[in-house]
Amino acid sequence: MRVILAAVAAGAALTACSPAQAGAVAIVGGERISAGELDAGVKEFEAARARTGGDTSGLRGSVPQAVLSNLISIEQVGQLSERNGVTVTESEIDGFLAQYRSQAGQQVTDEQIAVSVGAPPSKLRDLVRITLAEQKLLQRFGAGQDDASRQAASQKLAKEAETIKIVRNPRYGVVNPQAQSGADYYVDAGRFGRLQAAS
């Protein structure tokens, strides 16, 4: 379950790096993510990390980069879902989180889950929503129980995702599409992209 959340949080293979509109940290399919929205998300994340003692060593890039990737993914998959008539109910989100906690084998709070995947706690349910929406989209594109159909559906979804243009402000790092994790996820760390040690 954590792997699914982390994969969505990474905003896999979705970003194109070029200058954004003034005051924007990213533009997703024409929808603007402002510097103020990102700043608020980072502050919320840092407060939650301080309360939970969460470890951010597994995040891709710095905290601002991880939070921005979440905001981009939430917007992009949300647009894909709306375009394809895919919806996720609040009860489905509750069920996902309950299953996650059960598999964790210990008492895990929403704040701890959010911090573990680089998300502000207020965005956790949105992140779960797009995780479930992505699963439904894959099914809509033909994913079954076999690897071949899942791979074919993933390719179709990736192609569909490419139609939603993403422009990321290079001040927050230039994404390396070949990288899988950690600092190597960014070719250029950018002005606000230096890795921050977990406290």
Cα 106 to Cα 63: distance, rounded to the nearest angstrom: 26
- Number of CB atoms found within 10 A of residue 133's CB: 21
Architecture of domain 2-188: Orthogonal Bundle (1.10)
- pTM as predicted: 0.80
Cα 72 to Cα 41: distance, rounded to the nearest angstrom: 12
pLDDT value for 5: 52
* pLDDT (tens digit per residue) in 107-118: 889 999 999 999
pLDDT over 90 (residue 131):
yes
* pLDDT (tens digit per residue) in 32-90: 999 999 999 999 999 999 999 887 777 878 899 899 999 999 999 999 999 999 999 99
Cα 50 to Cα 175: distance, rounded to the nearest angstrom: 28
* pLDDT (tens digit per residue) in 170-198: 887 666 555 544 444 444 444 444 434 33
Q: Which residues contact 80 (CB under 8 A, 6 or more apart)?
A: 86, 133, 137, 157, 160, 161, 164
